[in-house]
Amino acid sequence: MSVDEQSKIKVTYYNEAIRYMENAKENLKRAGKEDRFYQDIKYVKTACGVAYNGVLVALDGYFLLKDVEKRRGRKSIQYYETNLAKVDKKLLNYLNSAYRILHLYGYYDGENEVKMISSGFELAYSIIEKIKP
């Protein structure tokens, strides 16, 4: 893969992942905060789901850069874990934590504690930074 192709992949996937994160932050603002908790679970769930999808977009770009075979159709967390374990074990830790916080606790369970959700967003940005142009 040429340097130009790598650069295009980075720009495309990075910008898209950041767009997801900006949308997620907007949803989180709508949730409202009181003390240590967000007040409207619907917006927290939406924000966490969108942020997690931003992580997956970034990982798709990262896998292209690392020549990981692209899979057709819906990809599971196992797809991301298996392939990330082959190319970057440190990043796998970030993914596992982001998955639990954003996808399971935030999106599915409706966790609304501000620090926990913030840590999920920080992990997401750390993953996205791996493809920053």
How do beta strands 33-34 and 37-38 pair? antiparallel
Task: State the residue range of the domain holding 123.
Answer: 3-129
Looking at residue 74, its pLDDT comes to 84
Looking at residue 96, its pLDDT comes to 98
* Residue indicated by tokens 């982001």: 98
Element (DSSP H or E) covering residue 33:
strand 33-34
pLDDT in tens, 46-86: 999 999 999 999 999 999 999 998 888 888 999 999 999 99
Q: Is the pLDDT of residue 1 over 90?
A: no
Mapped onto helix, strand or coil, the DSSP state of residue 34 is strand
For 11, 52, 53, the CA distances from 46, given in Å and listed in that order, are 25, 10, 11
Mapped onto helix, strand or coil, the DSSP state of residue 86 is helix
Supply the mean pLDDT for the chain: 96
pLDDT band at 20 (very low <50, low <70, confident <90, very high): very high
Rg (alpha carbons) of the chain, rounded to whole number = 15
What CATH number corresponds to the domain at position 85? 1.20.120.330
> Domain count of the chain?
1
